[in-house]
Chains A and B, each alone.
Chain A
Amino acid sequence: MLDVKHLRTEFGTHERPLVAVDDVSFQVGQGEILGLVGESGSGKSITLRSILGIVRPRGRVAGEILWNGQDLVALDEARLRRIRGREIAMIFQEPMSSLNPLLTVGLQISENLVAHTDLDARQRRARAIELLDLVGIPAARNRLDDFPHEFSGGMRQRVMIAIALASNPKLLLADEPTTALDVTIQDQILRLIQSLSRDLGMAVILVTHDMGVVAETCDRVAVMYGGRLCEIGTTTDVIADARHPYSLGLLRSIPRDVAPRSPLYSIPGAPPALNALPPGCAFSARCPVAGRECPDLRPKLEVIGASRLVACHHLADAQTHFGPREAAQ
């Protein structure tokens, strides 16, 4: 349904561009939930925003983003606007600031309906109630005329989802929808997204830095680092049997069965700045198994097993380096 091919998004001058997303390709099928994982600055949010073209005009997008056969990269702003919100919707990380504080939630849902449907005022109101109901807001009818500040964080995120769902999008882009929420609410929102995807046949791309969220929610995972894909495959494959040293590091960072007060594992170092990316593997500077060729020679995504792609020169070393702990589990 969505087929991203060699997506490249850059900012800054043409002479010295900052490449935020580099040669990223993936597909999302109907009703499928794809997780996009990586640290801050790994290009996952920019990838999402590139799909909808909202990095323009400052960012330059190259490659192909095929949406039901139509290349979104080639579309102008006016045509894109007809797809945004109607076929592809997006929700953001901060439910506190993504609602207009001066309009009631009813008006904000209804505004989306005005923009994308032919419903009249009464039908819009009925649909708004239906939507709030759908996202699990109790007493939806009474809350229609409430303002955003009268909702809690989790409820606001639900309202955001209701607005996004207003015109029955086929694809929902969720940019860290649960990062700003506490853990119990986080779980509720993820389950909501999951069930909506199942019931409405809606595809979802879920951006997160939390492997736990991925394991719980996604059908497939793409791991990104420095604007590039490291590994992409089904959630079961990637979680149970990660191959790329970065995915392995991320997984090891999740505390599991550790003794109290023992130090937690973290990947040493910090993600590289966009203007200091090596020509080769972006992760080479922090990689425990990097060889001499890694900073200069870009590893290609190669097929491993049935449906998995991994980009690394030293897969076997990674297995042995991270192996003992995984085996111990």
Chain B
Amino acid sequence: MSVGTFSPAPNAWRRFFGRRLTLVIGAGMLLFFLLLAIGAPIIAPYDPILQNADARLQSPSLAHLFGTDNFGRDVLSRVIWAYRVDMQMAFFATIFALLIGITVGAFVGYYGGIADVIFGRCVDAIITFPFLVLVIAIVAVLGPGLVNMYVAITAVNWVYYARLTRAEIMAQKANDYAAAGRVLGYSDRRIIFRHLLPNAISPILVYWMTDMALAILLGSSLGYLGLGAQPPSAEWGVLIAEGRNFLMTAWWMSLMPGIAIVLTGLGFSLVGDALADLLRPKGR
């Protein structure tokens, strides 16, 4: 009698481990960045706005790992302090859009009918504009600054969450447990928020992760254009803008915050990807 050992497909193991690995790396990066943001006063070696006329435009060295800018400020310290602003931006530019979008999308998806038609036209009206142009227009009207930037981004961005939620709720609504809830005499709100939404939420969370990366990009773009965070406060877009005139002589002024943006975006994307994989229903 031959003895056969049953071994699960190695592929499955690798896939499982691969997923976890992405999640661990991504989450590790985000955690590290979050620590930098919270611990900036302790971690940053210099005061981010303290000017030093004797140390202007110094290239990276042991004393100034990322070099100094045209006012003699330490670029490393400014990049670290910028984590505070930019991580906040990732959160505040998206969270209200998420909440508004989910609420509107859930109701519209559940009730359908005339509300859905009106919603559809509003969405069309908003997404016809290029995202950045519309946000810039709103910031221009409200005036530059972080809070106004959050308002502007939320005003446009909620539509994407609402669309996604609407579609997911409509798909979930077709399941009998929605009808079962109605038959059991539960209120509409209970059915939407306790039964349908938890089943519909995972793609929305995944989108949220990638959207936070986009929010950082958008926020620093606006900072670069002078519409977001205002100098002298440290924000990556602002830092890149400040280094713009010294690209030939002091490349580190723009490059270092640029790298920070890329790495942070990567962290969010990795987590988003891993979540998408983990939350995706497996087989059937």
Interface residues of A, Cβ cutoff 8 Å to B: 52, 54, 57, 81-86, 89-90, 92-94, 97-103, 111-112, 115-116, 160, 163-164, 173
Contacts and interface: CB of A to CB of B under 8 A. Distances in A.
By Cβ-Cβ distance, the 10 closest A-B pairs, closest first, are A85-B185, A84-B185, A98-B176, A85-B184, A90-B183, A97-B176, A97-B175, A98-B180, A81-B185, A92-B176
Contacts of B183: 52, 54, 84-85, 89-90, 173
B199 interface: yes
A99 to B, nearest CB: 6
B184 A163 contact: yes
Interface residues of B, number: 18
B186 A85 contact: yes
A90 B180 CA distance: 8
A164 B177 CA distance: 12
B187 interface: yes
Given A89-B184, A111-B186, 10 more contacts: A52-B183, A81-B186, A92-B176, A97-B175, A98-B175, A98-B179, A111-B184, A111-B194, A115-B184, A173-B183
Contact of A160 (B180, B194, B199): B180
Contacts of A90: 180, 183
Contact of A92 (B179, B185, B186, B194): B179
Contacts of A86: 185
Contacts, number: 61
Nearest to A48: B183
B199 A101 contact: yes
Nearest to B186: A115
B199 A164 contact: no
Contacts of A54: 179, 182-183
Interface string B16-39: 000000000000000000000000
Contacts of B199: 100-102
Given A92-B180, A97-B177, A160-B180, A102 B198 contact: yes
Interface string B175-213: 111011111111100100011001100000000000000
Contacts of B113: 57
A81 B187 contact: yes
23 contacts: A52-B183, A54-B183, A81-B186, A82-B185, A84-B183, A85-B183, A85-B185, A85-B186, A86-B185, A89-B183, A90-B180, A92-B176, A97-B175, A97-B176, A98-B177, A99-B180, A100-B195, A102-B198, A102-B199, A111-B184, A115-B185, A115-B186, A163-B184
Contacts of A102: 198-199
Query: Which of B182, B190, B199 has the most C-beta atoms of chain A within 10 angstroms of its own C-beta?
Result: B182
Nearest to A53: B182
A97 to B, nearest CB: 5
A54 B191 CA distance: 14
Nearest to B201: A102
A85 B184 CA distance: 4
A136 B199 CA distance: 29
A84 B198 CA distance: 24
A163 B181 CA distance: 10
Contacts of B194: 111
A99 B177 contact: yes
B160 to A, nearest CB: 24
A232 B175 CA distance: 32
Interface string B110-143: 0001000000000000000000000000000000
Contact of B185 (A83, A93, A99, A173): A83
B201 to A, nearest CB: 10
